[in-house]
Structure 1
Amino acid sequence: MVPARLSTVLLALALTLTVALPAARAECVGENLIDSMPEAERRALFDAADRVPYPRGNFWRATRGDQTIHLIGTYHLDDPRHAATMDRISPLIDSASTVLVEAGPDEEAALMSDLARDPSLMVQTEGPTLREALTDPEWQLLSDAMRERGMPPFMVSKFRPWYVSMLLALPACGLDGMEEGMGGLDGLVIARAQENGIPLQALESHDTVFRLFAAMSLEDQLAMIRSSLALEPISADYSVTLADAYFQGESRVIWELTRALSLRLPGQDPAQIEADFARMEQVLMTDRNRAWIPVLVTAAEEGPVLAAFGALHLPGDTGVLRLLEEAGFALERLPL
């Protein structure tokens, strides 16, 4: 069972998972929560981040013999600051033998095919709807939040709760003009590779997100919605903070901030939250990171590789960078 307290980390999932969400644009106006913290709290965030290997930096080169992998940690929402990143990495995309991404066009097509064949993957086909499962006040809060995101409550009521929590992870302000969105830096990388005929390969199966949440009970998923709604008032500030941290190359600070916000919610047990975050890191990052390493290494044996995936996968004891180091690769942080 996935503990309900882990729901607050869903706000970070836009940076760790590629899922069937509408393309969003990072146009929120809000306060940077880290900048406004007292100095001691801010220092504690960075100290916590620094306790893991490779805590900062979004652009790296891994080499082993004649094998070269360029790794770019991505932000899955659109932002005009991606243009500078693309200027830097486009030559590497063009010269790569393979571009690796979390999910490419083939995976998106397979995902849509699965959903067309089996709507129950994302829609509740039996049991209570969200309108029936939530209290009247909870449903009213959710309805208001979804209307702000351009989604009618009657439709949302039929979605699986975990998916609704993912929608709540994208602030309403970030969905302005979403029809123009490119899917963040990932989408820009994919488009560049397609334009230049560079082979694209996915790091994982298209159904990864479904398998990640398949073991969750209905009550766990409902609790995730409740906690996400509790953070709704600061969602714009949080979105601004995450984007700023990403473009400053502070990947691990994003994770530590989410942990700190979780601890601030009323009635939380710090020890339980630490255990919950360890479990979430194992499921969402460690297990996936380990599965990606053979894919990265095999591709590198065929020629230079550029790999683009969520920035939170880079740092940590079981981050992609440390795992490549353990596989014999030398690592070099590159400027952006």
Structure 2
Amino acid sequence: MPRTLLSRLALALLALCLAAPLAQAECSGRNILDGMEADARRALITATDAVPYPRGLLWRATRGDAVVHLLGTYHLDDPRHQDTLARVTPLLAEAQTILVEAGPLEEAAMMQALRRDPSLMVITDGPTLRESLSDPEWDLLAQAMRERGLPPFMVSKFRPWYVSMLLSLPACGMEGLAQGKGGLDAMVIDYAETHAIPLEALESHETVFRLFDAMTMEDQLGMIRSALALEPHAADYAVTLADAYFDGESRLIWELTRQMTLQMPGQDPARVEADFARMEQALMTDRNRAWIPVIEAAASRGPVVAAFGALHLPGETGVLRLLEEAGFTLERLPL
């Protein structure tokens, strides 16, 4: 695999950070929420409000002398990040440690791992995606990958979990990614490096591989099918998710994705709910629980800023509730 393509793919994987489907401000589309019927909108809000801490991107957690500022991020480039960075710069300046999902060391380690063992991302034994998907499914996937600048013959050999991650990047967001544009996470990392503030990762680069290695092939193919169901609305979906993020609606993003998937033709509601439960467990809950000791250890050394995908904040097993259960007092801050 050419190094430039490998670099682009690894960067895509890091940008996704497994948190949620993402978007970029350059995508041109309409906000789905604006045209949503009243009953559907109420159902969406009700589902959003059913979990703890459904809104807010900036929080302060305190326990005794320990102080942690938690910043929910959006992983791709958007000009609105400049205002956010200006708001949190005083917090970053005071931090003894800055925590992110994946930093430069993790990116380098991932690149090295992929070069050393291509089977982490490429199917080396067994049926390819072309052989595993139906003809209509493959045709949809091939077109979606062409729009993202990736040849279908190559994508056919990718592991399905990775293809589902690529599908969660809309085609309109790939150009900025290829140009190396980063989101709020990248801006926080740049600040830490520029000002020589210790920067640590919340998890190892191996986390992504372990997560999906534990999933069955059928579960991974199910992720592709779910992503393909939303593909016709990708541009509108991208704009909607970006706007929801900057409105501080961190949980609404997840509930909207669930609602849209359920409304797609041919979807089995029971299967959709089961798939979402498995994804939430693997992509959020398990990782959130593993992050808490890392946050606590950093907080024992002084003030901390922890910046990670906004979808990790809300929910019964979100980082905010887990910190609350660990004895921290939480305060939502204006952003």
Question: Would the TM-score normalized by the shorter structure come out above 0.5?
Answer: yes
Shifted more, 182-191 versus 243-252: the winner is: 182-191
Contact 1:76 1:186 in 2 (8 A): yes
- The answer for the alignment partner of 2:131 in structure 1 is 132
Between 295-304 and 285-294, report the one with greater CA deviation. Answer: 285-294
Q: Residue type matched to 2:235 in 1?
A: A
- Any conservation in 1 of the 2:77–2:176 contact (CA below 8 Å)? no
**Deviation (angstroms), 1:164:** 1.1
Structure-1 residue corresponding to 2:252: 253
Q: What is the CA deviation profile of residues 196-223 of structure 1, one whole-angstrom value per residue up to 9, with x for unaligned ones? A: 1111111111111111111233333333
Counterpart of 1:275?
A: 274
The alpha carbon displacement at 1:282 in A equals: 1.8
| d(CA) in 1 for partners of 2:317, 2:214 | 23
Could you report, residue by residue, the CA deviation over 1:220-249 in whole angstroms, capped at 9, with x for unpaired residues? 333332332232110111111111110000
Classify the secondary structure of the residue corresponding to 2:305.
Answer: strand
Cα RMSD of the aligned pairs, angstroms, is 2.2
Corresponding residue SS for 1:159? coil
Partner of 1:172: 171
Q: What is the identity, as a one-letter code, of the residue corresponding to 1:33?
A: I
Alpha-carbon spacing, 1:290–1:217, altered in 2? closer, same or farther (3 Å):
closer
User: Secondary structure of 1:69's partner?
Assistant: strand
Separation (CA, whole Å) in 2 of partners of 1:236 and 1:24: 8
Alignment partner, residue 153 of structure 1: 152
One-letter amino acid of the structure 2 residue matched with residue 205 of structure 1: S
- Counterparts of 2:71 and 2:23, CA distance in 1: 20
- Give the stretch that moved more between structures: 114-123 or 157-166: 157-166
Check if 1:317 corresponds to 2:298: no
Alignment of 1:50 with 2:49, yes or no, is yes
CA distance in 1, matches of 2:120, 2:294: 27
Separation in structure 1 between the aligned mates of residue 304 and residue 104 of structure 2, nearest angstrom? 18
Give, in whole Å, the separation in 2 of the partners of 1:15 and 1:132. Answer: 26
Q: Secondary structure at 2:150's aligned position in 1?
A: coil
Deviation at 1:261, TM superposition (A): 1.1
Gaps of 5+ in 1: 1-12
CA spacing shift, 1:181–1:24, aligned 2, 3 Å: farther
Unaligned runs of 5+ in 2: 1-13
Q: Give the TM-score of the pair, scaled to structure 1.
A: 0.90
Q: Which residue of 2 aligns with 1:83?
A: 82
Mapped partners of 1:163, 1:78: distance in 2? 21
Q: Is the 8 A contact 2:284 2:312 kept in 1?
A: yes
CA contact (8 A) 1:16 1:313 kept: no
Mapped contact 1:14–1:170 kept (Cα < 8 A): no
Aligned pairs, how many? 322
| Alpha-carbon separation, structure 2, partners of 1:219 and 1:266 | 20
Tell me, in whole angstroms, the C-alpha distance in 1 between the residues paired with 2:51 and 2:243: 21
Deviations 1:234-271 (A, max 9, x none): 01111111111100001111111111012112333334
2: CA distance, partners of 1:52 / 1:136: 39
Matched position secondary structure for 1:34: helix
Letter in 2 for 1:110: A
- TM-score, normalised on structure 2? 0.90
Instruction: Check if 1:17 corresponds to 2:23.
Output: no
Percent identity, please: 72
**Which residue identity is paired with 1:208?**
T
